[in-house]
Structure 1
C-alpha cells in the first residue's frame, strides 16, 4: 500500500502527511502549509493511505489548546516564505 504524501487542502490550510512508519498508530502527523509546524490527525478522519476523508470536520483539531498557536505560526512562516 502506498501512502499519500501529496499536499492536501482542508479549508484554506495546506496539509502534507509526514513520511514515517504508521503501522499500528491511531493517528498520522501532518505538516501545515509546507512548514515544520505539525499536527496529528486521528485515523478515523483519514482513508488508509492518509488522504483526508471528504466532508470531515477537523476544526476541533486546530482549536485544541495545544494546537491553537501552531496554525498561527505556520501561517506566519508561510507568509514569510512567500507561499
Structure 2
C-alpha cells in the first residue's frame, strides 16, 4: 500500500482496508456455510471460478498502477532482504 498511495492518504487507505479485512474474515465462513447448506458443496466450485475472474479483473480496473521507485534498470537486481 505504501507504493500505491501518497503518504497523506495512506492512513485513510489503511482505515478502509483494515475493517474490510476484519468483516471478510467473519463473514466468509458464515456465507460459505450458508451457500453450502443452500446450494450444495459442488456449487462452491462454480462460485470459486467467478470470484477468481473478478479478483483478477477488479485490480486492473480500480487500482492505480504501481509507481517505480527509481530509474528503470536493464539488469535484474535481487530484492533487499536484509531487514
TM range, smaller chain: under 0.3
Instruction: Work out which of the two has the higher radius of gyration on C-alpha atoms and give 1 or 2.
Output: 2
Q: TM-score, normalised by structure 2?
A: 0.25
Q: TM-score, normalised by structure 1?
A: 0.25
**Structure of higher RCO (CA pairs closer than 8 Å, 6+ residues apart):** 2
Relative to its length, the structure with more strand (as a share) is 1
Relative to its length, the structure with more helix (as a share) is 2
